[in-house]
Amino acid sequence: KTPQIITNSLPVANLFTGASRSEVLLSGGVIYPRLVVLVGPLAVEAFNKIHADAAIMSAGGICLEGITNSHGLLIDIQLAMIRAVQKVIFCFDHTKFGRQSVLPLCDLDCLDTIVTDSQAPPALVQSLRARDIDVVLAPTEA
């Protein structure tokens, strides 16, 4: 079976287009130039109509109150992605921990896995793990 990558990100689509073993599905929408992603009702509708195994995304910050984002145009798309998948994975570097961005995105209950670097605050990592969130610490480069 050919792996499928469903995205609203033009850089992600471009990256995987060259991979001969994957098929890339790109949502519709309007290009948001700052992040080079597709946004708007067409993008949200695309994710409302699909089902996927996992969503891998990022946001502006994570704290015990939940996940926040500073890009309001992405909130609806990210919520549609969360509803469309079995497993929700967020990637945050250590600077996003304990940080609250402008807009709330979701509660921690929506999360399955967080991938971060080894500089993530140990107390917050422990609190997340206590909530049954898998926290993966990526190895540091030598």
Q: Pick out the chain residues at pLDDT < 70.
A: 142
Token pair recorded at residue 33: 């130039």
Q: Quote the pLDDT of residue 17.
A: 87
Distance, CA of 72 to CA of 22 (rounded, Å): 30
Q: Quote the pLDDT of residue 1.
A: 81
Phi/psi-derived region of residue 66, left when phi > 0, alpha when psi is between -120 and 50, beta in every other case: left
* pTM score, whole prediction: 0.92
Pairing of strands 37-39, 30-32: antiparallel
Distance, CA of 69 to CA of 67 (rounded, Å): 7
Residue 88: CB atoms within 10 Å: 23
| 33 CB-near residues (< 8 Å, 6+ apart) | none
Closest CA to 89 of 57, 51, 132, 135: 57
